[in-house]
Each structure stands twice: as C-alpha cells, then as structure tokens.
C-alpha cells in the first residue's frame, strides 16, 4: 500500500493520479476515472474532480493508495 500525504485540505482525484504517475496525462487520468477503474473506499468513483481527503483509500491499476 502506498501512502500520499496531503499538504492541503483535499486533492482532486485526477491530480492524484497524475502526481503518482498512474496516469501519464490529465486526459489519461480522466479516461481511467470515466471507465470505472478507480475504487474509492470500496465503491466505484466516477467523478473526475472528486475531492479526496485524509483517510480515503483508492484502488486503481492494481495499487492501493491511502491518503494521509
């Protein structure tokens, strides 16, 4: 499990995917989300700009990321 430390109140889902290099571009990140490849706290997340906060757990591309 990877951990991502927030420096602000939240981070948008597509930004997280780009920062962690799960998506190569913003467009690629949006496609990943639109196709239902992201699981947030056990539920599919289809909102590209979903605000992730501390405690959220994201599963995508065979990786698990905990927002801390």
10-residue averages of pLDDT along the chain (68 residues): 96 97 96 97 97 98 97
User: Does the pTM exceed 0.85?
Assistant: yes
Query: How far apart, in whole angstroms, are the C-alpha atoms of residue 34 and residue 38?
Result: 9
Which runs of consecutive H residues, i.e. helices, occur in the chain? Answer: 13-19, 26-34
Structural domain containing residue 13: 2-67
Number of folded domains in the chain?
Answer: 1
Give the CATH number, domain containing residue 62: 3.10.290.10
């Amino acid at each position: 499990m990877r951990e991502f430390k927030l420096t602000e109140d939240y981070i948008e889902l597509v930004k997280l995917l780009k920062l962690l290099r799960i998506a190569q571009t913003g467009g690629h990140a949006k496609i990943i989300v639109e196709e239902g490849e992201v699981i947030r706290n056990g539920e599919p997340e289809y909102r590209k700009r979903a605000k992730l906060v501390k405690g959220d757990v994201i599963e995508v591309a065979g990786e698990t990321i905990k927002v801390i």
